[in-house]
């Protein structure tokens, strides 16, 4: 009986481990073979490389555009692809974790070399080595970190406290990086590091001004579009005023008969009002149709781009592999084999008794 219990325990453990392995395959959750901590600089003959959801060129590509040459990647793990004689680096790019082929990268001798390479590709027009101004920290979480380079991938400066909101920081160097982020060099309690300039009051204020200018431009455009409506309103009013004036003149002139006064009053009113009302209508209809068509055309590609982006982001976090048929799913066969083995053992022990 003890042997039977041990056999069943071994089978249960084996089945449990198989289920875990299959769960990873089903969700596309392939981790690196071992963790690492170093930097690689992209150096490809094609001008850049791609980052994938899995260590496979056939898996989902996570980046919209190629990662350009000169970009430093923090490699946090490796996967050896012996079949294709390739090493994959597990890294983060634009908030998504994935795998980059390291055969198109060169190792950076130090963190400083990685930083210098990225400042170089940013361009001299986007890097100010002689900055001299103050900013006030303002992060959504109430505080922020000081980093060892212009990006979170360079890691936090060890042993330095968090920067609190409202704290004044003196910037001695700033840079607009190739990925569009903005970073500055500052000193906190005697230790130098990089801070995210987008998490400052000055940056928020500048961004708010840009939004307000855009809103004013839209309001001005809407004001211009409303002009035809005003003209429509004014024109009939002017016609009515002319009619009223004629009525007064006709009433004041004693030599004009009541019939003539009625003709002078009734005849112009419907004619002028009709002309004033009908004339702008086709123009407004055409403008409305054109605006609707333009809005529809502009929204369609926008929706397509948004859907494609959502698919890439979902792929970067959790790629699901779905079996097309039940008999093609290895998990099904593992479960069937386990059940058959257990049934066979039970039959064997019952016959032995």
The CATH number of whichever domain residue 147 belongs to comes to 2.30.30.40
Instruction: Check: CB of residue 174 under 8 Å from CB of residue 184.
Output: yes
Supply the mean pLDDT for the chain: 73
* pLDDT value for 26: 38
d(CA 165, CA 188): 13
Is residue 83 domain-shared with residue 138, that is, in the same domain? Answer: no
Assigned domain for 221 exists: no
Is residue 60 domain-shared with residue 129, that is, in the same domain? Answer: no
Assigned domain for 214 exists: no
Assigned domain for 97 exists: yes
Instruction: Check: CB of residue 197 under 8 Å from CB of residue 174.
Output: yes
For residues 322-332, give the mean pLDDT.
Answer: 50
Q: Buried b / exposed e across 192-205, counting CB within 10 Å, b at 16+?
A: ebbbbbebbeebee
Residues 6+ apart with CB under 8 A from 147: 154, 155, 156, 157, 183, 193, 194, 195, 196
DSSP H stretches of helix in the chain = 2-27, 111-122, 201-225, 227-252, 258-266, 268-278, 280-317, 330-352
Assigned domain for 213 exists: no
Is residue 97 domain-shared with residue 147, that is, in the same domain? Answer: no
**Strand, helix or coil at 174?**
strand
Q: Does 151 or 268 have the greater pLDDT score? A: 151
Q: In terms of residue numbers, what domain contains 176?
A: 123-207
For residues 166-176, give the mean pLDDT.
Answer: 97
pLDDT at 313 over 80: no
* CA-based nearest residue to 181, from 95, 267, 243, 303: 95
Instruction: Check: CB of residue 26 under 8 Å from CB of residue 331.
Output: yes
d(CA 131, CA 175): 10
Is residue 127 domain-shared with residue 199, that is, in the same domain? Answer: yes
Assigned domain for 27 exists: no
Q: Which helix (H) or strand (E) holds 188?
A: strand 182-188
d(CA 33, CA 81): 10
* pLDDT value for 294: 52
Is residue 41 domain-shared with residue 87, that is, in the same domain? Answer: yes
Question: Phi/psi at 93 (nearest 5 deg)?
Answer: -145, 120
Domain boundary among 207, 230, 259: 207
Q: Does 313 or 128 have the greater pLDDT score? A: 128
* CA-based nearest residue to 193, from 213, 211, 173, 208: 173
Alpha carbon distance, N-terminus to C-terminus of the chain: 10
Is residue 104 domain-shared with residue 67, that is, in the same domain? Answer: yes
**What is the number of structural domains in the chain?**
2
* pLDDT value for 163: 97
d(CA 45, CA 48): 7
Location of structure tokens 């030599």: 255
Q: Does 196 or 349 have the greater pLDDT score? A: 196
Q: Does 9 or 319 have the greater pLDDT score? A: 9
* pLDDT value for 315: 44
Domain boundary among 108, 138, 159: 108
* CA-based nearest residue to 71, from 87, 49, 55, 86: 49
State percent of the chain over pLDDT 70. 56
Is residue 133 domain-shared with residue 197, that is, in the same domain? Answer: yes
DSSP 8-class letter at 183: E
Assigned domain for 72 exists: yes
Assigned domain for 104 exists: yes
Q: Does 318 or 223 have the greater pLDDT score? A: 223
d(CA 313, CA 61): 10
CA 211 to chain centre: 18
Query: Tokens for 293?
Result: 């068509």
* pLDDT tens per residue across span 251-298: 444 444 444 444 444 444 444 433 444 444 444 444 445 555 555 554
Domain boundary among 207, 229, 253: 207
Is residue 152 domain-shared with residue 84, that is, in the same domain? Answer: no
Is residue 93 domain-shared with residue 63, that is, in the same domain? Answer: yes
Q: Buried b / exposed e across 123-138, counting CB within 10 Å, b at 16+?
A: eeeebbeeeeeebebb
Assigned domain for 176 exists: yes
d(CA 229, CA 280): 8
* pLDDT value for 157: 97
| CATH number of the structural domain spanning residue 89 | 2.30.30.170
* pLDDT value for 182: 96
Residues 6+ apart with CB under 8 A from 44: 69, 104, 105
Instruction: Check: CB of residue 311 under 8 Å from CB of residue 59.
Output: no
Query: Tokens for 324?
Result: 């097309």
* pLDDT value for 100: 96
């Amino acid at each position: 009986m003890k042997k039977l219990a041990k056999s069943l325990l071994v089978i249960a453990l084996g089945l449990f481990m198989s289920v875990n392995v299959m769960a990873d395959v089903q969700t596309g959750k392939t981790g690196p073979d071992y963790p690492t901590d170093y930097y690689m600089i992209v150096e490809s003959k094609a001008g850049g490389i791609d980052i994938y959801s899995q260590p496979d060129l056939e898996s989902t590509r996570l980046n919209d555009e190629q990662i350009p040459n000169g970009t430093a990647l923090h490699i946090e793990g490796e996967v050896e692809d012996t079949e294709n004689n390739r090493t994959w680096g597990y890294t983060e790019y634009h908030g998504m974790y994935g795998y980059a082929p390291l055969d198109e990268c060169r190792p950076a001798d130090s963190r400083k070399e990685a930083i210098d390479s990225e400042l170089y590709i940013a361009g001299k027009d986007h890097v100010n080595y002689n900055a001299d101004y103050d900013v006030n920290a303002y992060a959504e979480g109430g505080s922020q970190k000081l980093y060892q380079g212009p990006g979170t991938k360079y890691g936090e400066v060890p042993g330095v406290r968090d920067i609190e909101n409202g704290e004044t920081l003196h910037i001695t160097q700033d840079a607009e990086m190739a990925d569009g982020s903005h970073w500055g060099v500052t000193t906190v309690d005697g230790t130098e590091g990089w801070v995210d300039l987008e998490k400052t009051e000055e940056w928020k204020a500048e961004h708010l001004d840009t939004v307000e200018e855009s809103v004013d431009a839209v309001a001005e455009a809407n004001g211009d579009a409303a002009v035809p409506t005003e003209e429509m309103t004014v024109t009939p009013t002017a016609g009515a005023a002319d009619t009223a004036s004629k009525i007064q003149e006709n009433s004041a002139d004693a030599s004009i008969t009541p019939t003539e006064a009625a003709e002078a009053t009734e005849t112009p009113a419907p004619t002028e009002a009709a002309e004033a009302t009908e004339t702008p209508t086709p123009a407004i209809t055409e403008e409305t149709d054109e605006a609707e068509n333009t809005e529809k055309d502009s929204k369609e590609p926008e929706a397509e781009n948004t859907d494609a982006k959502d698919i890439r982001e979902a792929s970067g976090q959790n790629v699901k592999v779905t079996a097309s048929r039940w008999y093609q799913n290895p998990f099904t066969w593992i479960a069937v084999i386990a059940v058959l083995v257990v049934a066979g053992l039970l039959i064997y022990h019952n016959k032995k008794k």
